[in-house]
């Protein structure tokens, strides 16, 4: 699972939908009172649920703009006191992510 640190309008339909679904899965996981699996994406989004919701909403707006239905609004019920308002941990740099996306046979960055 990878969450791209890239503006949604730059993603192709496939990666936009995948990003949206991954954000839902991650928010669902992080909203639960469980021990999280040691995954780099899970780690870097801890205490950043509001930020993740913001990313979800931007992704959903872009999906709707492309004529795709979106009926899965996100409501956060428990926000930690120590929420971070920006992302400062990256699994790979934005430049590396662009290179990764270019390597897929999809319309991202073509």
Pick the binder of Zn ion from 3, 15, 26, 62 (CB under 5 A): 15
Instruction: Kindly state the smallest distance separating residue 102's Cβ from Zn ion, in Å.
Output: 9
Nearest to 41 by CA among 31, 33, 53, 29: 29
User: Is residue 58 a contact residue for Zn ion (CB under 5 A)?
Assistant: no
User: Cβ closer to Zn ion: 89 or 102?
Assistant: 102
User: Is residue 10 a contact residue for Zn ion (CB under 5 A)?
Assistant: no
Please give the size of the binding site for Zn ion, defined by CB under 5 A.
6
Dist CA 99 CA 49 (whole Å): 27
Q: How long, in residues, is the chain?
A: 110
Pick the binder of Zn ion from 72, 76, 90, 93 (CB under 5 A): 72
Dist CA 55 CA 18 (whole Å): 13
User: Is residue 108 a contact residue for Zn ion (CB under 5 A)?
Assistant: yes
Name 53's Cβ contacts closer than 8 Å, sequence gap at least 6.
Answer: 27, 74, 76
Interface positions with Zn ion (CB under 5 A): 12, 15, 60, 72, 106, 108
């Amino acid at each position: 699972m990878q969450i791209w640190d890239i503006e949604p309008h730059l993603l192709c339909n496939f990666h936009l939908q995948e990003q949206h679904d991954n954000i839902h899965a991650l928010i669902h996981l992080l909203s639960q009172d469980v021990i999280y699996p040691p995954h780099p994406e899970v780690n870097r989004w801890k205490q950043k649920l509001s930020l993740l919701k913001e990313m979800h909403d931007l992704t959903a707006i872009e999906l709707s703009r492309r004529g795709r239905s979106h009926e899965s609004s996100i409501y956060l019920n428990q926000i930690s006191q120590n929420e971070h308002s920006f992302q400062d941990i990256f699994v790979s740099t934005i430049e590396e992510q662009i290179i990764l996306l270019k390597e897929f046979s999809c319309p991202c960055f073509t």
